[in-house]
Amino acid sequence: GRDNGSPISNYLIQTRTLFTVGWQRVNTVPEVIDGSTLTATVVDLNAWVEYEFRVLAKNSVGVGEPSPVSVKTRTEDAVPDAAPGDVGGGGGNRSEL
């Protein structure tokens, strides 16, 4: 799109899910996506959630209109980050629950 005479300084990526109210900015690598960067990785997403994304460009004039919304994308499931707690046996012999 047009930059109104001011080159793009950086991009912002936003997401929304069924669990959010409106669009939320997401964390990316690199953290700041400068105007010459062509790719970035979105990080810190929740497992097994369906996300939509959009990109906004920013320059000295302000923030432009958002890109068209992406197709919905579901993140993969994740391994547990903790062992189950409060698990006990039934009072039987060793190796029995």
Residue 87, pLDDT score: 73
Higher pLDDT, 85 or 60: 60
For 43, 79, 82, 95, the CA distances from 49, given in Å and listed in that order, are: 13, 15, 20, 37
Residue 12, pLDDT score: 97
The span from the CA of 12 to the CA of 66, in Å, is 9
Structure tokens at 11: 């991009």
User: Under DSSP, is residue 87 helix (H, G, I), strand (E, B) or coil?
Assistant: coil
Q: Does domain 10-74 have CATH number 3.40.50.10860?
A: no
Structure tokens at 75: 């993140």
Domain range list for the chain: 10-74
Q: Are 28 and 41 in contact (CB under 8 A)?
A: yes
Would you place residue 79 in the very low, low, confident or very high pLDDT band (cuts 50, 70, 90)? confident
